[in-house]
C-alpha cells in the first residue's frame, strides 16, 4: 500500500478534473464503513480515490467491502443528487476485495441515514414459486455470469439470478449440451499506481465452479468446460456498463 | 429417586410454576420422564413434560406409536443404547445436561447413556469415575470423532487446505494411541441436536447455497437438492446417511440398518413435532389470546418459508402486543407483562439491529460486507423454526478463539491455512471444534456450525454446539459480548422470555 500512495500522488494532476455523470471511476483504496442506521443492511461504504482525494459512496455494489482489506472500486458517477451516506454516489458500482490489508475505519452516522434496504432487482423466487416456461423458438444462446476481481465465487443476488433464469430456459429449451467458458482479465493494468491482473487459473476455476452448479441444477445434461485468459470487455447489459466487470465472467453456451 | 428428582426440579420454581408441575406430576408425568431403550411403552399422540419454563408438548402424527420393536426405541447395538437414549421426548428430542446428571444419580453412572465410546470424555479414561464423564454431565457434550483427513457428506475423501495440530488434549482422545490426527481422526465435543420438526430442517427454500457459492448439492438417494441443515458440521446430507452413522457410532451397532429399519426411523423422525406448549409465567397456553405457539402450528404449517418475504419469524406471538382489556382482566399483572414481553422479544429478535462482524458465512464470502448491520433474524430466518432457510453454516465464534469461552477441559487445535488465509482469523486459527471445515476441508469454514432449530429451547439447556451458554440468558450474554450489541436490560429479558416459550 505504500507504493500505492506515492504513485497516486504522482498521478494527481492527471485525474483531478471534475467527474461528470456517467464517468467511469476506478481506483484502489481502503474502504470506510459509515454506521448509518435505517434498519437492516442500511450501513454505508465509502472509499476515497487516492488520485483525486474525492470520496465516493460505493454502497451499491453487489459484493461489498470487508473493512480489513483494500478494494478495487469500479463505478460510474451517478446522476442522483441525494447523498444518503455523505458522499457523491457511484452507481452502478463494484467493490472487489483485494488481499492488501487495511486498518479498520468506521465513521459515525453524522446525521446521514444510509439507505433503507430494498430487495435488489436481481433476486430469485423461492423454489415453491413456479418459474414461467420461457417461450420458444429455442436456438443456441449464451448466458453470462460475473465475478469479483480474481475470484470464482458465485455472487448472491446477481449470478444466482442469472443462473436461475438460464436454468429455467435450458429446462424448456432442452439443448444437447452446455459449454461453460471461464474468462480472466490477465492483462496487467495500473490502477491507483498498482499493477492489477487476475491470475490465469481463475479462468478455469470460474468455468468449473459454474459447471458444477449447472450439473446440480440440470442433472443429466452434459456440461463441458473451457477457459480463456486475456479477457476483453463486452457490452453485455448484465455487466451494468462496468468494463472490468464484463471481463470477469463465465459464459454458459447452450448448444443444440 | 424419581420422586426426589421431581421435587428438586420444582424447587427453583415460583408459585404458579410449582402448581403446574405438581398438577402435571399428579397426572403421572414425572415417573415417565426417562424413556429407556426397549421398554416398549406406547408414545402417545400428544405428550406433555414440564420444564423450568412451563410444559413442552410432543405430537406424533398418526400416533400413538407402539415403540416395542421400533428401531428408534430398541437397543440395536452392543452398548444397550437406542436413538431415544439421547433424543428424549421430555428434552425436546435432544438431551439436557440436567437429564444426564439425573441419569447418573439414578443409575450410579451405569446407564448406557454413559457408554465409553462417546458418553465419556474419552474411552481411555476410567469409566466408573464421574470425572471421566464431566463434559456430558456438566455441559451435555458427546464426543464426536471425525476422520482426518476430511470426508465430505457423501463419504468422499477431501484434501483439506489446512493442517491441524493438537495444542492441548485434556482428555486423551486426540493424542493417546489410536487417537488424534496422526492416527487418522479428530475428536470434538458437541451437544445433541433435536430430532423433531424435521420437515423444517429438510426444507429447501432456494436452489442455491449462497454461503458456499454453488447450487445445492443433490441427495444421493433421490437426486433432489439437499437442505444442508443437518448436524453441526453438515457431515450427513440426508436422514439415511445420518442414521447409518448414528447407529454404528452411538449404538455400536455392528451391522447395517435394514431398509425397513431405515424407513421406520425416517417415518418417525418426520412425524414428531415438539415445542413449548404452556407457560405459568404467561398464565396458561402459548396458543391462547391470539398467539399460535406450541407444536400444532409447526405440524400444520408449510416448512421452508423465509420470514422476511412472508410470515415474519415469531409472529406467533404478535397478538400479545395488543391483548384486549377483556383478556387482560383474566391475567395477573405479571402474566400480562410477561406476554407483552414475549411479543416485544419477537420484535427485538427481528428489528433490533447491530453490527455483525467477522462471522464467516455472513461477512465472507457472501457479499453482505464486513461489517453488516442486521438483527437476530438475519441468520435465524425461517418462519416458525428460526433456523436458516439456506444451508446454515456460520461462524458465530462459539468454538473458536478469541470469541469462545476459555474452556480448558476441551481439546484445542491449531489450524494452519495452506493457501488463502482465513478472511477474519488469518493464517493460524485456534479452535475447539473446526465445525464445517471437518466436512468441507476448507480453512475458510473453520468454526462454522450449522444453525439449529430454535424450538423447545426450554427443555434442552445448555445451548450452542459446545454448550457454552448454560441458560437462555447466557445465549443473550454471548451475543452481547460477541457483537457489542448494547441491548438494554429490558431487551435482554424480552429475548429470554421469547426464547423460553418457543
State the smallest CA–CA distance between residue B375 and chain A in angstroms.
Answer: 7
Please report residues of A whose CB lies closer than 8 A to that of B208. Answer: 124, 154, 156, 160, 213
Best-predicted range by mean pLDDT among A85-89, B244-248, B249-253?
A: A85-89
Instruction: For residue A23, give the nearest of A60, A68, A61, A75 by alpha carbon.
Output: A75
Measured from the Cβ of residue B471, the count of other Cβ atoms closer than 10 Å reads 17
> In A, which residues are within 8 Å of B363 by CB distance?
66
| Contact status, residue B392 vs residue B228, Cβ threshold 8 Å | yes
Read off the pLDDT of residues B369-392 as tens digits, 9 standing for 90 and up: 999 999 999 999 999 999 999 999
The CATH code of the domain that includes A179 is 3.30.1330.60
Q: Which band of pLDDT confidence, cut at 50, 70 and 90, is reported for residue B31? A: low
* The pLDDT of residue B233 is above 70: yes
What confidence tens digit (pLDDT) does each residue in B402-439 have?
Answer: 999 989 999 999 999 999 999 999 999 999 999 999 99
Cβ–Cβ contact A45 with B under 8 A? yes
Count contacts between A and B (CB, < 8 Å).
104
Q: Do B369 and A66 touch (CB under 8 A)?
A: yes
Residue A37 to residue B378, Cβ atoms within 8 A: no
Q: Is the peptide bond before A137 cis (omega within 30 degrees of 0)?
A: yes
| Location of C-alpha cell 459484493 | A63
How far is the alpha carbon of B297 from chain A, nearest alpha carbon, in Å?
A: 20
Q: Provide the shortest C-alpha distance from residue B305 to chain A (in Å).
A: 8
Nearest CA to CA, how far is A243 from chain B (Å)?
Answer: 20
pLDDT at B155: 75
Nearest to residue A7, comparing CAs of A193, A191, A190, A188?
Answer: A193
Chain A residues inside the 8 Å CB shell of B154: none
CA distance A101 to chain B (A): 11
Is the omega angle on the peptide bond into residue B64 within 30 degrees of 0, that is, cis? Answer: yes
Q: What span, in angstroms and rounded, lies between the C-alpha atoms of B318 and B290?
A: 8
Residue B70 has what DSSP assignment? -
- B483 touching chain A per CB within 8 A: no
pLDDT in tens, B120-170: 999 999 999 999 999 999 999 999 999 999 987 777 889 999 999 999 999
A154 vs B213, B223, B368: nearest CB: B213
**pLDDT for B27 beyond 80:** no
Give contacts of B367 with chain A, Cβ < 8 Å: 61-64, 148, 155-157
Q: Is A199 on the interface with B (CB under 8 A)?
A: no
Q: Is residue A103 part of a domain?
A: yes
8 Å CB contact of A156 and B366: yes
**What residues of chain B, 220 to 259, have a C-beta less than 8 Å from chain A?**
223, 225
Contact of A62 with chain B, judged by CB distance below 8 Å, is answered with yes
Q: How far is A220 from chain B (nearest CA, A)?
A: 11
Claim to verify: residue A151 and residue A225 sit in the same structural domain: yes
Alpha-carbon span B298 to B383, nearest angstrom: 10
Supply the DSSP symbol for B31: G
Task: For residue A149, give Cα distances in angstroms to A97, A185, A244.
Answer: 7, 9, 8
Q: Which residues pair with B422 in a beta bridge?
A: B426
Please state the rounded mean pLDDT for residues B191-218: 98
Point out the residue among A33, A37, A61 whose CB comes nearest to the CB of B353.
A37
pLDDT of residue A61 exceeding 60: yes
Compare all CA atoms of chain A with the CA of B354 and give the residue at the minimum distance: A40
Contact between B369 and A219 using a beta-carbon 8 Å cutoff? no
Asked whether residue A122 is assigned to any structural domain, the reply reads no
Nearest to A33 among B353, B371, B374 (CB): B371
Q: Does residue A65 belong to the interface with chain B, where contact is any CB pair within 8 Å?
A: yes
In a domain, residue A36? The reply is: yes
| A127–B204 CB contact, under 8 Å | yes
Query: What's the N-to-C CA distance of chain A in angstroms?
Result: 50
Percentage of chain B surpassing pLDDT 90? 92
Looking at the structure, do residues A151 and A229 belong to the same domain, yes or no? Answer: yes
Which of B205, B307, B365, B427 should be substituted to probe chain A, the one whose Cβ sees the most A Cβ atoms within 10 Å?
B365
Locus of grid cell 490465469: A200
Average pLDDT for chain A: 94
Closest Cα of chain B to A22: distance in Å? 24
Backbone dihedral region for residue B264 (phi beyond 0: left; psi -120 to 50: alpha; all else: beta): alpha
How wide is the angle at C-alpha B149 spanned by C-alphas B148 and B153, nearest 5°?
90
Instruction: Pick the range with the lowest mean pLDDT from A12-26, A170-184, B157-171.
Output: A12-26
Gap from B40 CA to chain A (nearest CA, Å)? 40
Q: Strands (DSSP E) along A88-242, which ranges?
A: 90-101, 106-108, 141-146, 177-183, 189-191, 194-196, 223-228
The per-residue pLDDT for A17 is 56
Cell digits of residue B218: 443433490
B424 in A contact zone (CB under 8 Å): yes
Q: Is B145 on the interface with A (CB under 8 A)?
A: no
The beta strand positions in B371-491, using DSSP E, are: 372-374, 393-394, 412-417, 428-431, 449-450
Cell reading at B497: 422470555
pLDDT of A198 over the 70 cut: yes
Does residue A124 belong to any structural domain of this protein? no
Domain interval for residue A157: 141-255
B266 pLDDT above the threshold of 50: yes
Whether residues B207 and A124 touch (CB distance < 8 A) is answered with yes
Residue B368 has pLDDT above 80, yes or no: yes
Partners of A76 in beta bridges: A24
Q: Are strands A141-146 and A249-255 parallel, antiparallel or unpaired?
A: antiparallel
Distance CA B245, CA B117 (A): 14
Q: A42–B373: do the CB atoms touch at under 8 Å?
A: yes
Q: What is the 3-state secondary structure (H, E, C) of A7-34?
A: HHHHHHHHHCCCCCCCCEEEEEECCEEE
ipTM confidence score: 0.92
Q: Which residues of B200-219 are buried (b: 16+ CB within 10 A; e: fewer)?
A: bbbbbbbbbbbbbbbbbbbb
Paired residues of A194 in beta bridges: A191
Q: Which of B212, B214, B312 to mutate to test the interface with A (most CBs of A within 10 A)?
A: B214
What is residue B280's predicted lDDT score, i.e. its pLDDT? Answer: 98
- Give the closest residue to A71 by CA, choosing from A98, A53, A44: A98
Give B391→chain A minimum CA distance, Å: 14
Q: Torsion angle, CA of A61/B393/B162/B369, rounded to 10 degrees?
A: 20
Whether A68 and B370 lie within 8 Å, measured CB to CB: yes
Instruction: Select the residue from A30, A36, A37, A40 to test the B interface by mutation, using most B Cβ atoms within 10 A.
Output: A40
Query: Residue B18 has which C-alpha cell?
Result: 410449582
CB contacts, 8 Å: A148 with chain B: 367
Closest CB from B210, B353, B369 relative to A39: B353
pLDDT given at position B119: 98
Question: What is the bridge-based pairing of β-strands A32-35 and A106-108?
Answer: parallel
Q: Mark whether A102 and A146 lie in a shared domain.
A: no
- A233 domain residue, yes or no: yes
Per-residue pLDDT, A19: 83
Contact A164 B207 (CB under 8 A): yes
Q: Enter the pTM of the model.
A: 0.94
Burial of A81 per CB tally in 10 Å (0-12, 13-18, 19+): exposed
Looking at residue A52, which CATH number applies to its domain?
A: 2.40.50
Q: At what angle are helices A201-217 and A159-173 packed, to 10 degrees?
A: 50
Nearest by CB to residue A37, choosing from B210, B364, B373, is: B373
Rounded CA-CA distance B194/B93 in Å is 5
Q: Which of B204, B366, B369 sits opposite A45 (nearest CB)?
A: B369
Give the number of domains in chain A: 2
What is residue B298's three-state secondary structure? helix
In degrees, rounded to 5, the angle at the alpha carbon of residue B393 between the alpha carbons of residues B178 and B458 is: 90
Which residue among B213, B304, B370 places its CB closest to the CB of A66? Answer: B370
Which of A156, A205, A220 is the best substitution to test chain B (most B C-beta atoms within 10 A)? A156
Amino acid at each position: 500500500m505504500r507504493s500505492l500512495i506515492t504513485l497516486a500522488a504522482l498521478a494527481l494532476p492527471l485525474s483531478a478534473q471534475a467527474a461528470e455523470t456517467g464517468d467511469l471511476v476506478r481506483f484502489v483504496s481502503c474502504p470506510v464503513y459509515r454506521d448509518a442506521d435505517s434498519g437492516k443492511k442500511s450501513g454505508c461504504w465509502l472509499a476515497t480515490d487516492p488520485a483525486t482525494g474525492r470520496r465516493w459512496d460505493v454502497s451499491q455494489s453487489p459484493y461489498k467491502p470487508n473493512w480489513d482489506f483494500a478494494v478495487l472500486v469500479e463505478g460510474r458517477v451517478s446522476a442522483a443528487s441525494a447523498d444518503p451516506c455523505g458522499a457523491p454516489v457511484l452507481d452502478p458500482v463494484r467493490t472487489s476485495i483485494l488481499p492488501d490489508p487495511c486498518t479498520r475505519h468506521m465513521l459515525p452516522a453524522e446525521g446521514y441515514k444510509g439507505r433503507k434496504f430494498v430487495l435488489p432487482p436481481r433476486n430469485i423466487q423461492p423454489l415453491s414459486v413456479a418459474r414461467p416456461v420461457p417461450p420458444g423458438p429455442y436456438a443456441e444462446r449464451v448466458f453470462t455470469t460475473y465475478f469479483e476481481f480474481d475470484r470464482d465465487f458465485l455472487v448472491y443476488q446477481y449470478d444466482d439470478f442469472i443462473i436461475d433464469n438460464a436454468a429455467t430456459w435450458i429446462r424448456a429449451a432442452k439443448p444437447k449440451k452446455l459449454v461453460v467458458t471461464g474468462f480472466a482479465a490477465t492483462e496487467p493494468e495500473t490502477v491507483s499506481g498498482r499493477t492489477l491482473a487476475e491470475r490465469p487459473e481463475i479462468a478455469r476455476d470460474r468455468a468449473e465452479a459454474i459447471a458444477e452448479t449447472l450439473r446440480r441444477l440440470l442433472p443429466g445434461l452434459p456440461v463441458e468446460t473451457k477457459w480463456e485468459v486475456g479477457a476483453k470487455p463486452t457490452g453485455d447489459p448484465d455487466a451494468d456498463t462496468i468494463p472490468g466487470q464484463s471481463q470477469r465472467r463465465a459464459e454458459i453456451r447452450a448448444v443444440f | 429417586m424419581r420422586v426426589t428428582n421431581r421435587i428438586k426440579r420444582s424447587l427453583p420454581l415460583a408459585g404458579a410454576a410449582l402448581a403446574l408441575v405438581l398438577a402435571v406430576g399428579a397426572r403421572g408425568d414425572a415417573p415417565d420422564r426417562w424413556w429407556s431403550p426397549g421398554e416398549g411403552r406406547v408414545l402417545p399422540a400428544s405428550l406433555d413434560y414440564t420444564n423450568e419454563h412451563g410444559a413442552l408438548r410432543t405430537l406424533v402424527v398418526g400416533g400413538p406409536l407402539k415403540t416395542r420393536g421400533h428401531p428408534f426405541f430398541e437397543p440395536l447395538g452392543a452398548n444397550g443404547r437406542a436413538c431415544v437414549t439421547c433424543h428424549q421426548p421430555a428434552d425436546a428430542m435432544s438431551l439436557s445436561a440436567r437429564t444426564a446428571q439425573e441419569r447418573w444419580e439414578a443409575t450410579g453412572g451405569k446407564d448406557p447413556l454413559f457408554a465409553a465410546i462417546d458418553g465419556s470424555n474419552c474411552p481411555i479414561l476410567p469409566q466408573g469415575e464421574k470425572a471421566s464423564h464431566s463434559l456430558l454431565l456438566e455441559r451435555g457434550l458427546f464426543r464426536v470423532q471425525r476422520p482426518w483427513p476430511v470426508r465430505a457428506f457423501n463419504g468422499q475423501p477431501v484434501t483439506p487446505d489446512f493442517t491441524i495440530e493438537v495444542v492441548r488434549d485434556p482428555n486423551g482422545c486426540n493424542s493417546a494411541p489410536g487417537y488424534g490426527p496422526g492416527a487418522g481422526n479428530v475428536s470434538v465435543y458437541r451437544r445433541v441436536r433435536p430430532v423433531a420438526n424435521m420437515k423444517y430442517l429438510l426444507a429447501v427454500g432456494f436452489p442455491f447455497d449462497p454461503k458456499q457459492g454453488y447450487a445445492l448439492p443433490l441427495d444421493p438417494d433421490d437426486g433432489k437438492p439437499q437442505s444442508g441443515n443437518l448436524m453441526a458440521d453438515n457431515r450427513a446430507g440426508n436422514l439415511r446417511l445420518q442414521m447409518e452413522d448414528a447407529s454404528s457410532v452411538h449404538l455400536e451397532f455392528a451391522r447395517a440398518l435394514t431398509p425397513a429399519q431405515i424407513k421406520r426411523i425416517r417415518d418417525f423422525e418426520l412425524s414428531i413435532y415438539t415445542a413449548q406448549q404452556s407457560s405459568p409465567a404467561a398464565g396458561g397456553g402459548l396458543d391462547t389470546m391470539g398467539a399460535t405457539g406450541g407444536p400444532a402450528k409447526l405440524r400444520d404449517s408449510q416448512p421452508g418459508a423465509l420470514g422476511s418475504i412472508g410470515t415474519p419469524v415469531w409472529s406467533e406471538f404478535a397478538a400479545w402486543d395488543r391483548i384486549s382489556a377483556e383478556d387482560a382482566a383474566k391475567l395477573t399483572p405479571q402474566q400480562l407483562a410477561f406476554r407483552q414481553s414475549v411479543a416485544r422479544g419477537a420484535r427485538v429478535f427481528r428489528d433490533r439491529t447491530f453490527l455483525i462482524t467477522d462471522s464467516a458465512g455472513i461477512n465472507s464470502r457472501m457479499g453482505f460486507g464486513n461489517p453488516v448491520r442486521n438483527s437476530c433474524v438475519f441468520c435465524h430466518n425461517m418462519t416458525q423454526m428460526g433456523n436458516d432457510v439456506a444451508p446454515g453454516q456460520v461462524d458465530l465464534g462459539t468454538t473458536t478463539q478469541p470469541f469462545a469461552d476459555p474452556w480448558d477441559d476441551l481439546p484445542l487445535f491449531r489450524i494452519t491455512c495452506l493457501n488463502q488465509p482465513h478472511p477474519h482469523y488469518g493464517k493460524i486459527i485456534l479452535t475447539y471444534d473446526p465445525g464445517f471445515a471437518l466436512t468441507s476441508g476448507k480453512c475458510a469454514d473453520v468454526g462454522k456450525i450449522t444453525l439449529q432449530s430454535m424450538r423447545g429451547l426450554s427443555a434442552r439447556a445448555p445451548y450452542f454446539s459446545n454448550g457454552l451458554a448454560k441458560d437462555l440468558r447466557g445465549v443473550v450474554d454471548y451475543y452481547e459480548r460477541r457483537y457489542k450489541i448494547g441491548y438494554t436490560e429490558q431487551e435482554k429479558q424480552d429475548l429470554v422470555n421469547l426464547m423460553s416459550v418457543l
